Amino acid sequence: MSNITFTMIKPDAVANGHIGKILDQITTAGYQITAMKYIHLTEKTAGEFYAVHSERPFYKDLVSFMVSGPIVAAVLKKENAVADFRTLIGATDPSKAEPGTIRNLYAKSIDANAVHGSDSDENAAIEASFFFSNLERF
Ligand code: IDP
Ligand code: MG
């Protein structure tokens, strides 16, 4: 069991003014922010990040959406970080996300679903180091 996960506040949630409320919900749930940046992804970077989904029918739309506006990327620390964060954000499709979860509160559709959360300890480590150097992590 690892103690870190990686998240992004996606372009829809940033554009809708939800950065502050989402970060508040995350820290209230007991996560410490150990790295954070506010950036606009390029097609190349977004494509590489989601390369695992390159064979899925929604890949092209997903990359286009992720470069449609700035995002907030962060590394989060807490015991059982990955699994607890998936519970905190809710299902990929916000219409199926539990009440009170971040996607239930702030997402409108399965593609524009407000936040990313790592799906395993291994991917959390890969994703955190894709975005942040050691000098940017505390
Ligand atoms: P996750 O973000 O809940 O882990 P994944 O299956 O890893 O979901 O998919 C990555 C992202 O791709 C989702 O967060 C969502 O933005 C997008 N996505 C997933 N499934 C669909 C779909 O069926 N249609 C459109 N976009 C999708
Ligand atoms: Mg995923």
Residues 8-56 have pLDDT tens digits of 999 999 999 999 999 999 999 999 999 999 999 999 999 999 999 999 9
On whether the CB atoms of residues 33 and 102 are closer than 8 A, the answer is no
C-beta 5 within 6 A of ligand 1: no
What CATH code is carried by the domain that includes residue 130? 3.30.70.141
pLDDT tens, residue by residue, 56-113: 999 999 999 999 999 999 999 999 999 999 999 999 999 999 999 999 999 999 999 9
Look at the chain and report how many structural domains it folds into: 1
- Cα 135 to averaged position of ligand 1 atoms, centre (Å): 30
- Cα 117 to averaged position of ligand 1 atoms, centre (Å): 11
C-beta 91 within 6 A of ligand 1: no
Q: Which domain holds residue 65?
A: 4-136
Ligand 2 is an ion; residues with CB less than 5 A from it: 119
> What three-state secondary structure class fits 57?
coil
DSSP string, 65-124: HHTSS-EEEEEEE-TTHHHHHHHHH--SSGGGSPTTSHHHHH--SSSS-SEEE-SSHHHH
